[in-house]
Amino acid sequence: MSRNILFLSKTINSNVRRLCTTPTPVQKAEKLVLIDVNDKTGYGTLSMNRLPVNSLNVELFNALSDAYDEMEKNKSRGVILTSTSPKIFSAGLDINDLYSGDSKSWSELWDASQEAFLKIYDASFPSAAAINGHAIGGGCFFSMICDYRAMVKGYQIGLNEIQVGIALPKVLVMIMGKLLPRRHAEISLTQGTLYSPEQASKINLVDDVVVDKAEAIIKCEAFLNKFRKIPMDAVNTTKRTIRREEIDYIRNNKQKDIDDFVKAVESVEAQNTIKMYYQALKNKK
């Protein structure tokens, strides 16, 4: 049994239930991303709010895109990306969607993820991730595309897609390859390693390890403050030069990237692994 599945070592029985039920009106009314703008600093705190684990689906991706649009419109000076959950930043792509979808729904999922990716990665203001809990798969990736990461001790972070049977999408490989030293990127991507914050800080996956969410927010604010005396046009031009390869890849190959993702998810091997992974998650408790 893989390390990640061992990591999922309690039992859960309600994923099947989840597939068969519709959300209650209360869940429907909840905003998927809460926005709180600090009038003094001008920073917006965006809290993912798709409980229990902030698994990423079309609606959450769209809510993130909308929140970034709002920040752009209001000429935000910076964003702190975090979560309302007490112990999970984001558990990555919604496994229910990977398990029960079809090529149309997977295309829509990836399309929405590309939009959210571009909004964050190409924003005209810096983003700092206050990683207040586990950040796995897509959750880790969304913290990686911020400009800074502070992570609370006691949780795990990593791109474990390979464990779920999905070949790593190109942009994830490109960005991990740039963030981590080459050897660590290779091992991490091909083995789907999950790291403690202390391990992650040694390989550049997180910048600071903190004791709680409050300290993570303080660190994020301190990072954003560093840009206050630098003209943002100069920062953005420089940042876009650094990030151009990934941004251009998605902008110029949007449909191919969607097709690659759908192909990777719909393969018999991936579907079998997703099914096994899903069952392991379900049988945890």
Ligand X SMILES: CC/C=C\C/C=C\C/C=C\CC/C=C/CC(=O)SCCNC(=O)CCNC(=O)[C@H](O)C(C)(C)COP(=O)(O)OP(=O)(O)OC[C@H]1O[C@@H](n2cnc3c(N)ncnc32)[C@H](O)[C@@H]1OP(=O)(O)O
Residues that bind ligand X (CB under 6 A): 8, 10, 12, 14-15, 18, 52-53, 55-56, 87-88, 91-96, 113-114, 117, 134, 136-138, 141, 160-161, 164, 166, 169, 171-172, 250, 281, 284
Kindly tell me which of 5 and 232 has the beta carbon lying closer to ligand X. Answer: 5
Question: What's the closest the beta carbon of residue 36 comes to ligand X, in angstroms?
Answer: 24
CB 135 within 8 A of CB 193: no
Question: What's the closest the beta carbon of residue 87 comes to ligand X, in angstroms?
Answer: 6
Question: What's the closest the beta carbon of residue 220 comes to ligand X, in angstroms?
Answer: 21
Look up residue 119 and give its two tokens. 């909004």
Kindly tell me which of 216 and 265 has the beta carbon lying closer to ligand X. Answer: 265
Place of tokens 């997977």: 106
Q: Cα separation of 190 and 130, whole Å?
A: 26
Q: Cα separation of 119 and 67, whole Å?
A: 9
Kindly tell me which of 17 and 40 has the beta carbon lying closer to ligand X. Answer: 17
Q: Cα separation of 239 and 70, whole Å?
A: 21
3 state SS of 191: helix
Look up residue 12 and give its two tokens. 């859960």
Question: What's the closest the beta carbon of residue 85 comes to ligand X, in angstroms?
Answer: 9
Kindly tell me which of 38 and 190 has the beta carbon lying closer to ligand X. Answer: 190
Question: What's the closest the beta carbon of residue 156 comes to ligand X, in angstroms?
Answer: 7
Question: What's the closest the beta carbon of residue 169 comes to ligand X, in angstroms?
Answer: 5
Look up residue 20 and give its two tokens. 């068969």
Question: What's the closest the beta carbon of residue 230 comes to ligand X, in angstroms?
Answer: 28
For 197-234, b where at least 16 C-beta lie within 10 A, e where not — what string?
bebbbebebbbbbbeebebbbebbbebbeeeeeeebee
Dihedral over Cα of 246, 270, 159, 225: its sign: positive
Residues 6+ apart with CB under 8 A from 35: 44, 45, 46, 67, 70, 71
Kindly tell me which of 17 and 229 has the beta carbon lying closer to ligand X. Answer: 17
Kindly tell me which of 79 and 95 has the beta carbon lying closer to ligand X. Answer: 95
Kindly tell me which of 77 and 200 has the beta carbon lying closer to ligand X. Answer: 200
Q: Which of 161, 224, 146 is nearest to 191 (CA)?
A: 161
Instruction: Report CA Rg, the chain.
Output: 18
